[in-house]
Amino acid sequence: MDYPGNLFVVAAPSGAGKSSLVKALLELDSHVHLSISHTTRAPRGQEKHGRDYYFASQSEFDAMVEANAFVEWAHVHGNRYGTSKKAIEERIAQGSDVILEIDFQGALQIRQAFANAILVFILPPSWEELRSRLERRGEDSPEVIEVRLKNAATEMAEVGKFDFVIINELFERALFDLKAVVHAQRLKYAAQRRARADTFQSLNIT
């Protein structure tokens, strides 16, 4: 189905800066709305239920899976994450642009459900920098960091399945690139025709 709103899906290995980039984009562009995922993991730091994630128990998550409430869900680093199909459909059907930040498995599942989804992959500039970022974050043990790096190799092998690739070496440059992806999508013919219907009509463009 062709929805009036755009659906942007941002994926990256842990530590590549995906969450920081998406947060910065949301602060700059009020027309982009974050799709909040459900997860069985515990909140980190200042994360809040309903703002950063919907934190669910294992049984609550199971019930949503049974009800086919998720357009995608996956096991990531020992926890489960899922995206509500209804929540996305309602937003983009109203003409809003929606952005998801999820793992690469979920991103590819989203593409199956929403053929026009725009997939963006964030890469680190090097393995050394990725390790350094994970260590500086101070959230994981050395053993967990090794698992994340191993998973990153698997995730980055799928980058060719994405529409856009951004290398997050300099944050401001990476943010500029992400904004450019969003802006370019809004300038496509179908999007412009929906957004500027009066202009197209006055110019006799069908």
162: CATH: 3.40.50.300
Annotated binding site: 12-19
Does residue 160 lie in a domain region?
yes
| Mean pLDDT calculated for residue range 19-33 | 95
Number of domains in the chain: 1
Domain that holds residue 140: 7-35+97-202
Does residue 42 lie in a domain region?
no
Task: Identify whether the C-beta of residue 21 lies closer than 8 Å to the C-beta of residue 168.
Answer: yes
Report the chain's mean pLDDT, rounded to a whole number: 92
Annotated binding site for ATP: 12-19
Does residue 190 lie in a domain region?
yes
Does residue 135 lie in a domain region?
yes
Does residue 182 lie in a domain region?
yes
Place of tokens 């199971």: 62
Rounded to the nearest 10°, the torsion over CA 101, 174, 47, 49 is: -30
Both structure tokens of 42: 């515990």
**Model pLDDT, residue 63:** 94
- Taken as a whole, the chain contains a residue count of 206
Does residue 126 lie in a domain region?
yes
**Model pLDDT, residue 1:** 64
Q: How many alpha carbons fall within 13 Å on the CB side of residue 6?
A: 23
